[in-house]
């Protein structure tokens, strides 16, 4: 974070200073919500979560070098001595206000002579946010100092923590913006109004929190409503619900996708034997070859979104094409391909799942396995689908059969309808296995897998199959 005095920080958050703190004390270190990440000069944000209360770790944060704690109450150390704190009504809301204040200061500084010319890019969509964010961060990093979220920091805590990593040198601030209900993106864009807003797709993720697909579309459109004055909307021309968001854009609209009317397109898309796409990127009357390192044809869509956003913030076409070809998958458990010494290929895509991403992953599995290797799909529950959950899981089971998946392993009670769908589609006997939990799945696969198998592991994060992904790939280098 940029250096702020304790008094400035209290003013930005609407809080009051308590304990042994001089208002002129400078907070010059990082802003963190995990006491284990404290560095000297840090601000520690004490957040009361579902499983732990950050207030209980404030003393250890101060002992590790935090000069100030953002807290909901006055704090004392182990011996009863007060701790330096800014006391606010709601630390999460205050964290957002602090990020909004700091970003405002950075924007003002960036337009001064010699300033960085800061551009803020927001990315949302039901599928592909994190991968697109990772691609875009790598494109921008090649052109100037860039800050982007670690992992999937895309909510009311993760986004302001990401914003607060920016400083006066930052040229690009790439933000992933997630929403599990109406108003969430409005809140996030109030903290960080994007100069460029990217909308990937309106799909079935988190339907339970919205009440229907049209409500999802309205919520995703909030990132367009929240654009900075004159901001650019980067929209998927292939999704009719995303198309409709163009009328809400305050400035230019850049279209990406497969339709001939798209401003940014991929032509001559091909997959190599490892499932990695190559294509010709076309935009602005020019073209350039791209060969992705990511596995799965669905990543072409993510690459086009990243390309369109990169072009919108001033990168040229050759820079974008080269950057896409050099970009790697940065976030764990997202189409992470591992070749094990025993000849088994593991595709760990267990970070999250919804019907759209599940279909894409199964298609990628079919390509990787081809005709000469056994395809194994290990699937868990897709959560937050509301009333659509049963049918959605059933359809995934049917798709696995149509794609000729040789062995389907269904993990957990919440995913049982996947097995039902597969059996109704004509799969039976040893082609479908149903296991109770991750431990049972691990034991089954350890006994069942053989050289040449290609194994996909996928579920929503809460279903826990990421632990199975770790088990199957432990100690093995990425392919």
Match domain 336-473 to its CATH number in 3.10.310.30, 3.90.190.20, 3.40.50.300, 3.40.50.150.
3.90.190.20
Residue 479's pLDDT band, with cuts at 50, 70 and 90, is very low
In percent, how much of the chain has pLDDT > 90? 87
Whether residue 210 is predicted with pLDDT greater than 70 in this model: the reply is: no
* Residue 129 annotated as binding site: yes
- For residue 230, say whether it is annotated as part of any ligand binding site: no
126 appears as a binding residue in the annotation: yes
Q: Directed axis angle between helix 184-191 and helix 91-110, to 10°?
A: 50
56 or 211: which leads in pLDDT: 56
Average pLDDT of the chain, as a whole number: 94
How far apart are alpha carbons 126 and 4 in whole angstroms?
37
382: DSSP letter? -
User: For residue 430, what pLDDT band results from cuts at 50, 70 and 90?
Assistant: confident
The residue to which tokens 């109004």 are assigned: 193
Angle between helix 416-424 and 389-402 (nearest 10): 50
Predicted confidence at residue 78, as pLDDT, reads: 85
User: Tell me: domain 94-326, CATH 3.40.1190.10, correct?
Assistant: yes
Q: 350 among the known binding-site residues?
A: no
Give tens-digit pLDDT for 338-395. Answer: 999 999 999 999 998 999 899 999 999 999 999 999 999 999 999 988 888 999 999 9
Percent of all residues in the chain with a pLDDT value above 70, rounded to a whole number: 97
Q: With 80 as the cut, is the pLDDT of residue 294 above it?
A: yes
Predicted TM-score (pTM) of the model is 0.89
Region of residue 261 (phi > 0: left; psi between -120 and 50: alpha; otherwise: beta): alpha
Range list for CATH 3.90.190.20 in the chain: 336-473
- Residue-wise pLDDT tens digits, 73-120: 999 988 889 999 999 999 999 999 999 999 999 999 999 999 999 999
> For the segment 198-209, what is each residue's pLDDT rounded down to a tens digit?
999 997 655 556
Architecture of the domain defined by 4-89: 3-Layer(aba) Sandwich (3.40)
- Please check if 131 is assigned to a binding site: yes
pLDDT value at residue 329:
83
438 neighbors 465 (Cβ within 8 angstroms): yes
The predicted pLDDT at position 145 comes to 98
pLDDT at 263: 98
């Amino acid at each position: 974070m940029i250096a702020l005095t304790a008094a400035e920080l209290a003013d930005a958050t609407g809080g009051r200073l308590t304990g042994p703190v001089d208002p002129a004390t400078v907070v010059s270190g990082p802003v963190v919500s995990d006491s284990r990440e404290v560095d000297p000069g840090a601000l520690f944000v004490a957040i009361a979560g579902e499983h732990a209360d950050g207030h209980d770790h404030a003393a250890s944060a101060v002992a590790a070098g935090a000069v100030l704690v953002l807290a909901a109450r006055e704090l004392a150390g182990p011996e009863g001595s007060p701790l330096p704190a800014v006391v606010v009504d709601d630390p999460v809301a205050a964290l957002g206000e602090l990020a909004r204040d700091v970003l405002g200061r950075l924007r003002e500084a960036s337009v001064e002579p010699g300033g960085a010319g800061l551009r803020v890019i927001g990315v949302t969509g039901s599928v592909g946010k994190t991968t697109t964010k990772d691609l875009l961060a790598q494109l921008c990093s090649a052109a100037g100092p860039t800050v982007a979220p670690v992992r999937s920091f895309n909510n009311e805590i993760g986004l302001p923590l990401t914003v607060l990593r920016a400083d006066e040198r930052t040229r690009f601030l790439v933000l992933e913006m997630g929403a599990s209900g109406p108003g969430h993106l409005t809140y996030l864009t109030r903290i960080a109004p994007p100069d460029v807003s990217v909308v990937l797709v309106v799909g079935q993720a988190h339907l339970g929190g919205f009440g229907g697909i049209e409500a999802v579309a309205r919520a995703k459109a909030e990132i367009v409503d929240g654009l900075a004055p004159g901001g650019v909307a980067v929209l998927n021309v292939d999704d009719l619900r995303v198309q409709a968001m163009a009328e809400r854009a305050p400035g230019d609209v850049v279209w990406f996708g497969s339709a001939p009317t798209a401003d940014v397109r991929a032509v001559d898309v091909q997959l190599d034997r490892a499932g990695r796409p190559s294509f010709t990127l076309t935009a602005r009357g020019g073209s350039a070859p791209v060969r992705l390192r990511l596995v799965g044809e669905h990543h072409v869509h993510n690459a086009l979104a990243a390309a369109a956003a990169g072009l919108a913030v001033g990168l040229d076409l050759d820079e974008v094409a080269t950057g896409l070809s050099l970009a790697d998958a940065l976030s764990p458990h997202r189409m992470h391909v591992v070749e094990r010494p025993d000849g088994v290929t593991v595709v760990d895509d267990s970070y999250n799942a919804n019907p759209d991403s599940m279909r894409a992953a199964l298609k990628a599995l079919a390509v990787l396995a081809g005709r000469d290797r056994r395809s194994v799909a290990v699937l868990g529950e897709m959560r937050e689908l509301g009333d659509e959950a049963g049918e959605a899981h059933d359809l995934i089971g049917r798709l696995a059969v149509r794609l000729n998946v040789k062995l389907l392993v269904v993990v957990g009670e919440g995913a049982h309808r996947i097995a039902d769908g597969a059996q109704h589609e004509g799969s039976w006997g040893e082609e479908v296995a149903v296991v109770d939990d991750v431990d049972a799945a691990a034991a089954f696969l350890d006994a069942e897998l053989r050289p040449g198998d290609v194994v996909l592991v996928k579920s929503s994060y809460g279903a826990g199959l990421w632990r199975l992904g770790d088990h199957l790939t432990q100690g093995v280098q990425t392919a």
